[in-house]
């Protein structure tokens, strides 16, 4: 009898305690093609170069998905070095080891790498110009991967490391990588806007929500599925944009909040939004006034234009599914 042998790929997910990681684990564990190893910060701190080399070198995964990050946007303004260590320099460690062991490296970035001044949004190759500490740290992370990919391509001299030299040439495998930029992420296992709105609605009669920042929400489960799609369809290395679909002008946080509470999705079974809450549009200026917790500049226009991947499903459909999901009963 001829058996159908499926060659499983060893897939390492880093930052396993996080929101996106939780959906990545679910999506990849559901497939027989992968053996998933998920490490949280206690298993591996990605800023520790020695441990990164030792542990990942020993495991030798085929695919490394880095979902570890410093995502406290405002805190990053005060603790820039810490944010930079995780979101920026650590990517050098990961890119180097991925290159050495020939693993595909997948990393997530953000709309915050752009300055948010373009009302038409940003394509994959548009010039980043971050306006916040978080955005800068994420931009450095992207650069670490791109520089490693560039440097570790082609042939190198064993002795001096240069692209020419004494003739003792070693061939370094080119780094295969995907940098996936996303925005306004929400998912089952993490702090996010949707849950914050619902929780606040239980406590307050009205909510002021910013109406002059525009972008596109992304359901983490859809991003996890898109990641699997990229791998399985063998897309070339590069930068990709993935969010749920909105109109070209995106939506505001106010639009997002209204939809959460609308009859269509907000009152859906399971979420139990019983109280009527009034949503009031506010400007960023009004919202920030007197609030010491808001320190970072946020992009006015955050739409990530996706020119390389199939379009994702509509944001309202994804939101509805999330609201109907199992966490709904919390």
- Cβ of residue 45: shortest distance to ligand NAP, in angstroms? 4
Residue 20 is a binding residue for ligand NAP (CB under 6 A): yes
Among 12, 15, 227, 265, binds ligand NAP (CB under 6 A): 15
Note whether 45 and 100 are within 8 A (CB). Answer: no
Residue 124 is a binding residue for ligand NAP (CB under 6 A): no
Residue 144 is a binding residue for ligand NAP (CB under 6 A): no
Q: Which residue has the tokens 């590069």?
A: 238
Residue 63 is a binding residue for ligand NAP (CB under 6 A): no
Residues 289, 200, 115: CA angle, nearest 5 degrees = 45
Q: What gap in Å lies between CA 299 and CA 113, rounded to an integer? A: 9
- Cβ of residue 175: shortest distance to ligand NAP, in angstroms? 18
What is the number of other CB atoms lying within 10 angstroms of the CB of residue 203?
9
Q: What gap in Å lies between CA 128 and CA 143, rounded to an integer? A: 11
Q: Which is nearer to ligand NAP, 108 or 261 (CB)?
A: 108
- Cβ of residue 41: shortest distance to ligand NAP, in angstroms? 4
Binding footprint of ligand NAP, residue count (CB under 6 A) = 24
Among 27, 149, 185, 312, binds ligand NAP (CB under 6 A): 185
Point out the residues that are catalytic.
Answer: 134
Among 165, 174, 190, 325, binds ligand NAP (CB under 6 A): 190
Among 17, 165, 174, 281, binds ligand NAP (CB under 6 A): 17
Give Cα 330 distance to the centre of its chain: 25
Give Cα 65 distance to the centre of its chain: 10
Residue 238 is a binding residue for ligand NAP (CB under 6 A): no
CA distances from 31 to 25, 211, 271 (A): 10, 41, 29
Q: What gap in Å lies between CA 248 and CA 304, rounded to an integer? A: 10
Pull the structure tokens for residue 36. Answer: 């998933």
Residue 83 is a binding residue for ligand NAP (CB under 6 A): no
- Cβ of residue 68: shortest distance to ligand NAP, in angstroms? 3
What is the number of other CB atoms lying within 10 angstroms of the CB of residue 40?
15
Residue 277 is a binding residue for ligand NAP (CB under 6 A): no
> Which of 52, 71, 70, 47 lies closest to 12 in space, CA to CA?
52
Judged by CB under 6 A, the stretch of 117-125, 177-185, 228-236, 268-276 that binds ligand NAP is 177-185
Q: What gap in Å lies between CA 249 and CA 247, rounded to an integer? A: 5
Note whether 300 and 212 are within 8 A (CB). Answer: yes
Residue 24 is a binding residue for ligand NAP (CB under 6 A): no
Note whether 278 and 96 are within 8 A (CB). Answer: no
- Cβ of residue 42: shortest distance to ligand NAP, in angstroms? 8
Q: What gap in Å lies between CA 268 and CA 263, rounded to an integer? A: 7
Judged by CB under 6 A, the stretch of 94-102, 148-156, 182-190, 206-214 that binds ligand NAP is 182-190
- Cβ of residue 82: shortest distance to ligand NAP, in angstroms? 9
Note whether 302 and 250 are within 8 A (CB). Answer: yes
Judged by CB under 6 A, the stretch of 13-21, 96-104, 291-299, 322-330 that binds ligand NAP is 13-21
Residue 230 is a binding residue for ligand NAP (CB under 6 A): no
Q: Which is nearer to ligand NAP, 190 or 325 (CB)?
A: 190
Kindly list the residues in this chain that would bind ligand NAP in the complex (CB under 6 A).
14-15, 17-20, 41, 45-47, 67-71, 86, 108, 110, 138, 182-185, 190
């Amino acid at each position: 009898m001829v058996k159908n042998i499926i060659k499983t790929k060893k897939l390492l997910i880093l930052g396993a305690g996080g929101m996106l990681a939780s959906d990545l684990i679910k999506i990849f564990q559901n497939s027989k093609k992968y053996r998933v190893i998920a490490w949280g910060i206690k298993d591996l701190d990605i800023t520790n170069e020695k441990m990164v080399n030792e542990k990942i070198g020993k495991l030798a995964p085929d695919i490394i998905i880095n979902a570890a990050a410093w995502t406290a946007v405002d805190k990053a303004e005060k603790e820039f070095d810490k944010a930079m260590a995780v979101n920026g320099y650590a990517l050098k460690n990961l890119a180097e080891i991925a290159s050495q062991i020939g693993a595909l490296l997948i990393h997530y970035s953000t709309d915050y790498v752009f300055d948010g001044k373009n009302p038409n949004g940003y394509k994959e190759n548009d010039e980043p110009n971050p306006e916040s500490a978080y955005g800068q740290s994420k931009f450095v992370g992207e650069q670490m991967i791109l520089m490693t990919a560039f440097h570790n391509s082609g042939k190198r001299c064993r002795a001096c490391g240069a692209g020419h030299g004494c003739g003792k040439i070693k061939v370094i495998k080119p780094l295969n990588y995907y940098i996936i930029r996303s925005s306004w992420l929400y998912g089952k296992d993490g702090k996010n806007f949707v849950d914050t709105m619902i929780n606040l609605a239980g406590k307050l009669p009205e909510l002021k929500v910013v109406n002059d920042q525009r972008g596109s929400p992304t359901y983490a489960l859809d991003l996890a599925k898109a990641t699997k799609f990229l791998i399985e369809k063998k897309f070339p290395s590069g930068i990709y944009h993935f969010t749920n679909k909105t109109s070209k002008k995106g939506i505001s946080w106010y639009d997002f909040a209204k939809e959460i509470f609308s009859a269509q999705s907000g009152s859906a079974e399971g979420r139990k939004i019983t109280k009527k809450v009034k949503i009031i549009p506010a400007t960023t200026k009004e919202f920030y006034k007197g609030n010491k917790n808001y320190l970072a500049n946020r992009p006015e226009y955050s739409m990530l234009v996706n020119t390389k991947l199939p379009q994702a499903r509509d944001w309202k459909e994804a939101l509805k599914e999330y609201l109907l999901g199992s966490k709904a009963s919390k």
